[in-house]
Chains A and B, each alone.
With several copies, the nearest count.
Chain A
């Protein structure tokens, strides 16, 4: 798979590898190192530190112009950096919507001052972001947004509630979709703002999920003032701005692959095989049961299919072919459903142990398998339900006619 490379490439690869050896958290990648999987402060701190370390070394911040803090390198270097990072399974970044949503959106729609002010600190991990899109009545359909902003001098005064906010607890800034013209039609009545999480009148609280964790939160706006200059894109055209972020978010799927996670866990084929070898049912190892061999093999196939598809799209992009931006709906659905299927399979492997959660002395892998299964029931809902994504694939990629709808 690895073929003759120029000496230059080989040397650079070694340089990256050496840097990783020196800079990765001590013990990282060994079974002894228990990386924080849930949204704890420790995980956040680790992510922020790692992002900054990489950025300072010139191993992050790609894809942005230099004047906004971007790091510019030849494509072949970036490719090698990414390959090496993937190979050794580096820590995840902080739980910020900064790189995932805010960065792409500000780069595409932002005013010059916004790009200068916000992008560098997104790239180096210094400032953390969240977004406020969903509301109790606006899940899949942004048209139902009720949170409203009224102009008052140089400010907009915002009132309303947002739900399903990722990184609600650590965010310094947020992206916000609000209704700015109650009289206008769908897609012409929303605006898109940047807001400061320290603004008076802004409050947040956890939203407890079925997993027992509160990865998501709710945000409340009680006469929160947002300066007009914080508007992103044109007034009342926020629906179109939001699309950029949603597409970017959808594309930030799960990392699957043979060696991409640091410890035993979902995306790691080896750890599932190991579990199946270690687990016996009715006195027989699960791994010896052709039923599970087939299912685990199918998981391996689908994981490699994701990797291969990424490589294929990457190659096409390098050859200058345009990838349909709606392709993110394809990979989002595929990875979300794969995740749920493999979680279900792992639960069957665990048998009675699938009931043991964190805190039980019998919990396997600290309860992470079970926690993950519960957490990722949301995978087919968040960032666009599977059903919405199928509609997008059918309508936007395949060009099928839209269905007759009540409004629009």
Chain B
């Protein structure tokens, strides 16, 4: 049954996550990762695995904690609050879920326990040069050669590719009128000869992106994930879930911005009074609070709908993504405005949230894209 609140276990998870992140993921760590080409450390990943996060929603038989998607969204809200860097969603959602849903038992046994215990980091390489996550954008071909498929081509905007040990690669194996038909998923080891990973310098340096080039990579049959030509629906399902989690990250990030601004507005004195006593600042903050409240409600609805596999889950995620994206951008923009000059400096953390808001808005389609999908519900 759909439940909008937070139960006691979830409260505990939230508190634990906040404590963990305060200790292990301070801004000094995040800023160090911004300067790191890989964007994460093995050490940090191990710590997350130790508290059970890297397998949070995986079944127990694969070493997971078997918790719910709503639990995961609560965790992601806290991660967003701290603009946590690293391939968390890439690994656990965009890679592990397709393996869980489409994989053979052997594939599950090979990958999932290692993801759960933190030994393996993964990412999905889907998007190409058009930058959009959609089946029409998947044009990199995989050619059959005996039992194998040979991959040649490039993927762009691949998140977390340098940190990943394996890639889940979407390839085109058939051209058809329906672009969803003809996409095949391949599991590829990053260390394969012929794979080149080039960093793409990003505005939000906490979220690394790369161009990955595949030069005649042979994928044996055992690393084809799911049925040939039928791979898109697993990616689509994973992306729906990843999008719902990004909504949680955006709400969490927005909360940090609001709290930081309220604190600043209470203490920063100009013209003989705290700036928070001026209506202009007050009303900015009231607007931020209001939009965040509704963004949070939509985010919770989206997470619950996904958890329950509700038939309206798509719509809920479309709505949450559009609204949370707009809201986080607005809130982070005002975060800089309210702080004035200091909020515009590199040393202040506000720009990390501002840039994160821009990065998350584009991932899996921006607000305009999701609104168009909503309209299609009413066509």
Contact = CB atoms under 8 A, between A and B. Distances in A.
Touching in the complex, A and B, CB below 8 A? yes
Interface in A291-345: 291, 293-294, 296-298, 300-302, 304-306, 308-309, 311-312, 314-316, 318-319, 321, 330, 333-334, 340, 344
B175 interface: no
A3 B362 contact: no
Given A304-B319, A407-B272, A393 B286 contact: yes
Contact of A393 (B7, B290, B308): B290
B53 to A, nearest CB: 25
B277 A404 contact: yes
B236 interface: no
A370 B286 contact: no
Contacts of B296: 309, 312
Interface stretch (B14-22, B114-122, B125-133): B125-133
Given A141-B271, A209-B346, A316 B5 contact: yes
Contacts of A163: 341
Contacts of B298: 301, 304-305, 308
A319 B136 contact: no
Interface residues of A, number: 98
Contact of B345 (A208, A290, A360, A401): A208
A269 interface: yes
Contacts, number: 273
A318 B273 CA distance: 41
A290 B373 CA distance: 11
Given A370-B203, A408-B271, A312 B340 contact: no
Interface string A178-210: 000000000000000000000000000001111
A57 interface: no
Contact of B378 (A140, A273, A302, A370): A273
Contacts of A209: 344-346
A315 to B, nearest CB: 3
Contacts of B131: 351-353
A139 interface: yes
Contacts of A319: 5-7
Interface string B276-316: 11111111011101100111111011000100101110001
Contacts of A370: 203
B241 to A, nearest CB: 18
Most central of A209, A306, A347, A387 by chain B CB within 10 Å: A387
A303 to B, nearest CB: 10
B354 interface: yes
Most central of A163, A308, A389 by chain B CB within 10 Å: A308
B181 to A, nearest CB: 16
B347 interface: yes
Interface residues of B, number: 92
A388 to B, nearest CB: 9
Contact of A394 (B137, B276, B350): B276
B177 interface: no
A383 to B, nearest CB: 11
A174 to B, nearest CB: 18
A341 to B, nearest CB: 11
B289 A315 contact: no
B345 to A, nearest CB: 6
B265 A139 contact: no
Contacts of A344: 329
A144 interface: yes
B308 A394 contact: no
Contacts of B372: 290, 293-294, 297
A195 B323 CA distance: 47
B333 interface: yes
A358 interface: yes
Nearest to B271: A141
A391 B273 contact: no
Contact of B337 (A305, A359, A381): A381
Interface string A203-237: 00001111010000000000000000000000000
A217 B272 CA distance: 26
B358 A347 contact: yes
A400 B341 contact: no
Contacts of A37: none
Interface stretch (B57-65, B82-90, B182-190, B363-371): B363-371
Contact of B369 (A281, A312, A397, A408): A281
A16 interface: no
B198 interface: yes
B358 A406 contact: no
B322 A282 contact: no
B271 A407 contact: yes
A386 interface: yes
Contact of A403 (B3, B277, B310, B340): B277
B317 to A, nearest CB: 12
B266 interface: yes
Interface stretch (A86-94, A105-113, A114-122, A372-380): A372-380
A355 B341 contact: no
Interface in B232-265: 262, 265
B200 interface: yes
17 contacts: A136-B342, A140-B340, A209-B345, A212-B346, A297-B374, A309-B296, A311-B4, A330-B289, A347-B358, A351-B366, A357-B201, A362-B157, A374-B351, A381-B340, A400-B266, A401-B273, A407-B271
Given A208-B347, A405-B273, 12 more contacts: A139-B341, A290-B372, A301-B322, A302-B323, A308-B301, A315-B4, A319-B7, A360-B201, A361-B211, A400-B282, A403-B273, A403-B277
